[in-house]
Amino acid sequence: MQNKETVLVTGGTGFLGTHTIVQLLQNGYNVKTTVRSLKRKNDVFEMLKNGGITSFDNLKFIEADLTKDKNWDFAVKDCKYVLHLASPFPSGEPKDEDELIIPAKEGTLRVLKAAQKAGVKRVVMTSSFAAIGYSINPENHIFSEQDWTDPNTKIGPYIKSKTLAEQAAWNFIKTEANPLELTVINPVGVFGPVLGKDFASSVQLIEQLMSGKMSATPKVFFGIVDVRDVADLHIKAMISKEAKNERFLACSDDSTSLPEIAKILRLQQNEYTKKVTKKVLPNWLVKMLSHFKPELKSVASQVGIIKTISNEKAKTILGWKPRNKEVIITDTADSLIKFSIIK
């Protein structure tokens, strides 16, 4: 199956990036992808092979960095669509929030300006639930695409960076980008099968539970979604007329918690899940410990808070069907075993 349309995927080495490239190639698109260094090409080839790709004839790599102008005009040339998935994600709290905010915001505008100049039809941008769900009291509230996180409230640097980057994108479209179209996808915590050693930091939670590094689980509740479903949603949003200038929340039908994920893993009852803890940390203890362990601060602020998140818009408008949490968690765990990430 050959489709002559060319799609640029930014962030080709990423967890979502590789899964999206797999689906685009399987659907017959020509794909260009940006990587910060061409030295990573072979890593991407390896992950795509693990995802079932056997021919790379329709794939091209371009070296481009979100913080620099170089090569972006070349990257978007002859592309009908751009899937902007690349974004900085911290391994820890940065000393200065601008370390995250500036590249996220400026990188997004760099991609949009290059796309507009090249006559791209539509950019589909990966934002986050972070840009939706952190300024409204979750009690009796159902979070939807109508909601926005207020960047002027007390929020972490990552949440702020995602919010400001998305706001900058919409502002660009509103003020100067006609006829460029924008669609934004706002995923919750992204899990699902890894294709190699590169995977989302959310998947590290499963790895920490299975390896016994997490000796007890705090009662933190969050939305969950499969990486394969997020990739699928980007492609659906790319080609649907109804998706023009809309945002879509990407989440499974049901939220989960760390104790529940541990329980789902233990149900697998194999040698790899024996180390998964049964201990649950009381909320007061997490809050107390956060005074001594700065890395627990963001966790402490969320313990016990349950957010109801609606995925109705993506299902109704785009016919999207997300996997359930049991499948997502089990498939994630199986892939960590398959690639010897858990020994």
Beta bridge partners of 11: none
Active site residue: 80, 113, 162, 219, which one? 162
Is residue 246 within 8 Å of residue 240, measured between CB atoms?
no
Give yes or no: 274 in active site. Answer: no
| Helix extents (H) in the chain | 15-26, 41-50, 72-76, 98-118, 157-176, 203-210, 227-239, 258-266, 283-289, 297-300, 312-318, 325-338
What is the CA 339 to chain-centroid distance, rounded?
Answer: 21
d(CA 163, CA 206): 27
φ/ψ of 138, rounded to 5, equals -70, -10
Q: Is the peptide bond before 179 cis (omega within 30 degrees of 0)?
A: yes
* Count of Cβ atoms closer than 10 Å to residue 246 Cβ: 18
Do 276 and 265 touch, CB atoms closer than 8 A? yes
- Side chain identity at residue 97, one-letter code: E
> Which of the residues are catalytic?
162
